[in-house]
């Protein structure tokens, strides 16, 4: 076989592979396929969403739009995902409810991206340092799922703060779904202050409730933790901004509400207090529907939509300086 022919075959193979990949990258949807996606999304909204009234209104709306032919021009997975997400969000806005397009075949496990290695960034526990006279600074980039290695990393991370006179925890840009990690970290920062004589070893922080108000998951501090605790009395400051989301918001809200344990500094957070479930609906589309909502044990409310409101409002880029000044004043330095 000549070299030119070999090169042509190789080029042809690459062309076919590229064409196949292009087809996979944006699934074509005919009228029946679009109807299936819209109706199935509407069904899941009605049956599963944590806010039944708004979800039903959104489901009715997209069914009516389908019947009027408003989705006739959305002939690919990507285009339909953008349009349906926009239409649903106009009636039932939340960060967890949308139609998601993915650039691979959901039915083929080999094409799914590999999940990130959780320990690669020390489970989101970014750094510890001291600022001036005995003021600790902890930076958290995300709240990872709580595993034994993650708990061990949290113990090493929090142990460094035990000798500090004041502590600043930086949650700016932090997110993640690890609410259990947030509860574990809270264990190093809280103690029962409801009674002078009788102190519980564990503190109930918040729950996740389903659409009927039933508790589906509880989050408590741990009675026993590895390493030393910072304690429940020394000054504590949390830095937040509009990209502080998910489990980071739960952590901030719980510490703020429990007898004002923490002073929150910065700007309002993202307002993300729900948890979703994703389900495949076509080769390249999956629905994401918010199925539970947080409920703080003290307020019986959450931060959905409004965000955690800072006690000391300031521009996020100035939050560290503001918290440092507050900490220095608190410890008399």
What class is the 121-272+307-331 domain? alpha beta
Q: Give the contacts of 33 (CB within 8 A, at least 6 positions apart).
A: 282
Q: What is the pLDDT of residue 17?
A: 40
pLDDT score of 5 more than 50? no
pLDDT bin (cut points 50, 70, 90) of residue 200 is confident
| Nearest to 250, CA basis, from 292, 212, 195 | 292
Q: What is the pLDDT of residue 110?
A: 86
Q: What is the pLDDT of residue 333?
A: 65
Q: Give the contacts of 253 (CB within 8 A, at least 6 positions apart).
A: 206, 294, 296, 302, 303, 308
Per-residue pLDDT tens over the stretch 206-247: 999 999 999 999 999 999 999 999 999 999 999 999 999 999
d(CA 114, CA 121): 16
The CA–CA distances, whole Å, from 234 to 48, 162, 257, 306 equal 43, 10, 16, 28
Per-residue pLDDT tens over the stretch 61-81: 999 999 999 999 999 999 999
Q: How confident is the prediction for the chain on average, in pLDDT?
A: 91
**What is the reported pTM?**
0.88
Give residue for tokens 């006739």. Answer: 72
| Nearest to 93, CA basis, from 21, 135, 45 | 45
Per-residue pLDDT tens over the stretch 15-44: 334 334 444 489 999 999 999 999 999 999
Q: What is the pLDDT of residue 197?
A: 57
Per-residue pLDDT tens over the stretch 252-305: 999 999 989 999 999 999 999 999 999 999 999 999 999 999 999 999 999 999
Asked whether 240 and 269 are in contact (CB, 8 A), the reply is yes
Query: Where do the domains of the chain lie?
Result: 9-105, 121-272+307-331
pLDDT score of 122 more than 60? yes
pLDDT bin (cut points 50, 70, 90) of residue 196 is low
User: What residues pair up with 218 in beta bridges, in sequence order?
Assistant: 207
Q: What is the pLDDT of residue 3?
A: 45
Per-residue pLDDT tens over the stretch 96-120: 999 999 999 998 888 888 888 888 8
Q: What is the pLDDT of residue 25?
A: 82
What SS3 string covers the chain? CCHHHHHHHHHHHHHHHHHHHHHHHCCECCHHHHHHHHHHHHHHHHHHCCCHHHHHHHHHHHHHHHHCCCCCCCCEHHHHHHHHHHHHHCCCCCCCCEEEECCCCCCCHHHCCCCCCHHHHHHHEEEEEECCCCEEEEEECECCCCCHHHHHHHHHHHHCCCCCCEEEEECCCCECCCHHHHHHHHHCCCCCCCCCCCCCCCCEEEEEECCCCCEEEEEECCCCCCCCCCCCCCCEEEEECCCCCCHHHHHHHHHHHCCCCCEEEECCCCCCCEEEEEEECCCCEEEEEEEEEEEECCCCCCCCCCCCCCCEECCHHHHHHHHHHHHHHHHCC
d(CA 243, CA 304): 14
- Exposure string for 72-97, b = 16+ CB within 10 A, e = fewer: eebbbbbbbbebbbebbeebbebbbb
Backbone dihedral angles phi then psi of residue 228, each to the nearest 5 degrees: -95, 155
Q: What is the pLDDT of residue 189?
A: 97
- Exposure string for 277-299, b = 16+ CB within 10 A, e = fewer: eeeebbbbbbbbbbbbbbbbbee
Q: What is the pLDDT of residue 117?
A: 83
pLDDT bin (cut points 50, 70, 90) of residue 193 is low
Per-residue pLDDT tens over the stretch 128-157: 999 977 999 999 999 999 999 999 999 999
- Cβ count within 10 A of residue 325: 12
Q: What is the pLDDT of residue 12?
A: 35
pLDDT score of 205 more than 90? yes
Of 326 and 201, which is predicted with more confidence?
326
- Residues making up the chain, counted from first to last: 333
d(CA 179, CA 248): 8
């Amino acid at each position: 076989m000549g070299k030119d022919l070999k090169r042509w075959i190789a080029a042809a193979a690459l062309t076919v592979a590229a064409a196949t990949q292009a087809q996979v990258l944006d699934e074509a949807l005919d009228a029946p396929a679009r109807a299936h996606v819209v109706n199935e999304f509407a069904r899941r909204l009605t049956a599963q969403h944590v806010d039944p009234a708004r979800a039903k209104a959104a489901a009715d709306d997209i069914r009516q739009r389908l019947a009027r032919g408003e989705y006739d021009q959305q002939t690919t997975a990507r285009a339909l995902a953008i349009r349906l997400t926009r239409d649903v969000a106009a009636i039932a806005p939340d960060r967890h409810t949308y139609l998601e397009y993915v650039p691979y075949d959901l039915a083929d496990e080999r094409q799914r991206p590999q999940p990130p290695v959780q320990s690669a960034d020390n489970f989101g526990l970014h750094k510890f340092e001291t600022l001036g006279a005995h003021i600790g600074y902890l930076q958290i980039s995300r709240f990872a799922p709580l595993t034994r290695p993650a708990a061990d990393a949290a113990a090493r991370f929090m142990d460094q703060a035990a000798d500090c006179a004041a502590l600043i925890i930086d949650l700016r840009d932090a997110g993640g779904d690890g609410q259990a990690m947030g509860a574990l970290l809270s264990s190093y920062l809280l103690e029962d202050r409801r009674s002078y004589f009788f102190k519980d070893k564990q503190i109930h922080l918040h729950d996740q409730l389903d659409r009927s108000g039933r508790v589906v998951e509880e989050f408590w501090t741990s009675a026993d933790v590895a390493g030393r605790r910072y304690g429940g009395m020394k000054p504590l400051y949390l830095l937040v901004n509009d990209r502080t989301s998910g489990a980071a918001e739960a952590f901030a809200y719980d510490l703020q509400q429990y007898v004002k344990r923490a002073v929150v500094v910065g700007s309002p957070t993202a307002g993300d207090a729900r948890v979703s479930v994703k389900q495949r609906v076509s080769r390249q589309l999956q629905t994401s529907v918010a199925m539970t909502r947080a409920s703080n044990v003290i307020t019986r409310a959450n931060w959905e939509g409004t965000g955690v409101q800072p006690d000391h409002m300031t521009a996020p880029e100035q939050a560290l300086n503001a918290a440092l000044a507050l900490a220095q004043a608190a410890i008399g330095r």
